[in-house]
Structure 1
Amino acid sequence: MDTVIDARVKTFIQVTELWIPDGDRLVLANGNYGDLAAFETATRAISFGKGEGLPGKAWAEQRPVVLKGFDGSYFKRIEAAAEAGLTSAVALPVFDEDDLKAVLVVLCSDSDERIGAIEVWSELDGLMMLDDGYYGAAKHFEWVSQHTHFPRGQGLPGGVWSARTPMLFRELGSGYRFIRADSAGKAGLTTGLGVPVPVPHDRQFVLTLLSARGTPIARRFEIWDARPEKVGKETAAILVDGICERDGPLWTDDNDAPPRRVTANQGNIGKVLATGLPVILSGAPALTEGYSAMVALPVYQGGALAHVVAWYI
């Protein structure tokens, strides 16, 4: 096993939860709460109907939802969140056409030390516009993002929208492909993951996770391609892009080296292939490439699982 990564670094995301349908309710399937045990206890006592709380709102509205303040809102765990220092959250529904598979929720705290971005972009009048986002202390980058839009194929949101596939951007502060490079560099943002968010209606959404070295969203990112035209008839996925602080690039363009490939039930990515559900795993570095936690998220296209994106903390 490779060296275990030091988990004491402050991360941009503090809590990650997976809610799955159980009849007419959303129930907690799993979560990574770190040392926020009281908030975890409060969470395990509740469930959500359609339209209730943040997970239920994402279910009812069939779209990603950003909530940048809990006081006076529809958030159901306001007191427990305040005691835990949590101030903002994003809910991401996972749809296979009309079928809701799960809702992934991430929660963050507001401090002068945390830099990063979780953005939701949506198509409006032929452009990708910022629907909403949470940026921590990166206030200037937030302002720039609010005044930026992307044609199809331009930048990270426009590129994901055009290709209908997840994308990784590196060196955001100096990359010519990243339209907001100057402000990203000043904010200390380094790596960007863009993910299409398919929903039952025609509106197009893209999620972007922008990570900084000081308070990373993740220190390892992976994109797996599970489309039949890429992997054949077998339920499988091939690693097509990835980056990590420790190992550098996680894939190879060398034709003499076989690509990394997993099949259903093979490891954590294989579990996503087998169940069609996101995976959250924490407290088991031996099972998460030496990291303290990981999230693996399926992306559906045309009624089938097309990609899996994963990030490791």
Structure 2
Amino acid sequence: MDAALDLPVKTFIEVAEIWIPEGDRLVLAEGHYGALDSFADASRHASFARGEGLPGKAWAEERPVVLKAFDGSYFQRTEAAQEAGLTAAVAVPVFSGKTLKAVLVVLCANDNVRTGAIEVWKENDGVLMLDDGYYGAARHFEWVSQHTHFPRGQGLPGGVWASQTPMLMRDLGSGYRFIRADSAGKAGLTTGLGLPIPVPGGATYVLALLSALGTPIARRFELWDARAARVGKAEKSAVLADGICAREGALWVGETEEPRRVAAWQGVIGRVLATGLPAVESGTSALTHGYDTLVALPIHLDGEVAHIVAWYC
């Protein structure tokens, strides 16, 4: 096991949970809570109607929702969240056409040390503008982002918009393709993941996860493409299209074998491919060696899973 993975590093995201529709309410399907047992228990006993709480708001408004403070808000687990030290959350709905498949909710803690960014960009008058975001201690980068917009094809959000595919960017502080490189470098941000969030009605949303070495969103990212793998094949499968990890050496075992492919129901990625539902796995043998938690998020296009974005902590 790589020594770097053994170091006790605070991650930018503390909690990840999946809420799925059951009748007219959202119920908890699975989640990773670490040592936050009281908040986990409060979540297991919760459910949300359309428009109710953070998951219900993302469902009703059919868009990603950022909530940077819980006090006085519509967040319904405020007391448990405060006891757990959680201060902000982002809800990402997963739609297949007009049908809600699930809502991914991630929660963060603000201790003036953790640096990173979870951003939601929305198209407005032909450019992407920041709809909202959570940045932890990266205050200057937040200000720069609020005053930045992206034409189609420019920067990480614009590239995702133009291609309608998830994208990874490395070396944000020095990368010429990253428009905010100077402020990203000063904030210590190193890796960027951008992904389209399809919603009913045709509005354009791009979610960006920006990770720092000291408080990473994840230590490993993977992008799986389920479109190319379906060409000429009857069965569902997905090919690993891109990835990056913090440790030295090969990104995955058998890296020289092309293509790296999973079939439906093969491992966690295969389960996401088969069901079209996001997944959160924690502390199981299904995970890649050396990682504790996996979050896998499908992107549906034209009624099918087109991409799967996975991050490991």
- Tell me which interval the TM-score lies in, with the shorter structure as reference length: over 0.9
Whether the aligned pair in 2 keeps the contact of 1:243 and 1:249 (CA below 8 Å) is no
User: Could you tell me which residue of structure 2 aligns to residue 127 of structure 1?
Assistant: 127
User: Could you tell me which residue of structure 1 aligns to residue 21 of structure 2?
Assistant: 21
C-alpha change, 1:248 and 1:104, in structure 2 (3 Å) is: farther
User: Could you tell me which residue of structure 1 aligns to residue 137 of structure 2?
Assistant: 137
| Alignment map for 1:12-91 (pairs within 5 Å) | 12-91=12-91
User: Could you tell me which residue of structure 2 aligns to residue 250 of structure 1?
Assistant: 251
Match of 2:262, SS state, is: strand
Q: Does 1:280 align with 2:280?
A: yes
- How far does the alpha carbon of each residue in 1:256-307 deviate from its partner, in whole angstroms, 9 at most, with x for none? 8421001001111111111110110012266333201010100011111100
Match of 1:185, SS state, is: helix
Unaligned runs of 5+ in 2: none
Separation in 1, partners of 2:169, 2:230: 22
Whether the aligned pair in 1 keeps the contact of 2:238 and 2:262 (CA below 8 Å) is yes
User: Could you tell me which residue of structure 2 aligns to residue 240 of structure 1?
Assistant: 241
Separation in 1, partners of 2:229, 2:284: 34
Whether the aligned pair in 2 keeps the contact of 1:285 and 1:293 (CA below 8 Å) is no
Separation in 2, partners of 1:117, 1:203: 22
Match of 1:269, SS state, is: helix
| Alignment map for 1:1-313 (pairs within 5 Å) | 2-3=1-2, 5-6=5-6, 8-228=8-228, 231-233=231-233, 234-247=235-248, 250=251, 257-284=257-284, 287-313=287-313
C-alpha change, 1:231 and 1:272, in structure 2 (3 Å) is: farther
Give the drift of 1:133: 0.2
Separation in 2, partners of 1:206, 1:260: 27
Give the drift of 1:39: 0.5
Residue 246 of structure 2 aligns with an amino acid whose one-letter code is E
Over the residues paired in the alignment, what is the CA RMSD in angstroms? 1.7
Whether the aligned pair in 2 keeps the contact of 1:197 and 1:205 (CA below 8 Å) is yes
Match of 1:14, SS state, is: strand
TM-score normalised to structure 2 length: 0.95
Whether the aligned pair in 2 keeps the contact of 1:221 and 1:242 (CA below 8 Å) is yes
Give the drift of 1:6: 2.2
C-alpha change, 1:277 and 1:190, in structure 2 (3 Å) is: same
Whether the aligned pair in 2 keeps the contact of 1:251 and 1:259 (CA below 8 Å) is no
Separation in 1, partners of 2:171, 2:249: 13
Match of 1:75, SS state, is: coil
Residue 242 of structure 2 aligns with an amino acid whose one-letter code is D
TM-score normalised to structure 1 length: 0.95
Separation in 1, partners of 2:250, 2:170: 11
Whether the aligned pair in 2 keeps the contact of 1:169 and 1:192 (CA below 8 Å) is yes
- How far does the alpha carbon of each residue in 1:141-192 deviate from its partner, in whole angstroms, 9 at most, with x for none? 0000000000000000000000000000000000000000000000000000
Separation in 2, partners of 1:65, 1:115: 20
Match of 1:160, SS state, is: helix
C-alpha change, 1:218 and 1:266, in structure 2 (3 Å) is: same
C-alpha change, 1:228 and 1:259, in structure 2 (3 Å) is: closer
Whether the aligned pair in 2 keeps the contact of 1:297 and 1:308 (CA below 8 Å) is yes
Match of 1:211, SS state, is: strand
Separation in 2, partners of 1:231, 1:290: 33
Match of 1:258, SS state, is: coil
Whether the aligned pair in 2 keeps the contact of 1:127 and 1:149 (CA below 8 Å) is yes
- How far does the alpha carbon of each residue in 1:45-66 deviate from its partner, in whole angstroms, 9 at most, with x for none? 1100000000000000000000
Judge which range, 139-148 or 230-239, deviates more: 230-239
Separation in 2, partners of 1:147, 1:248: 38
Residue 226 of structure 1 aligns with an amino acid whose one-letter code is A
Aligned length: 310
Superposition misfits of 4+ residues, deviation over 6 angstroms: none
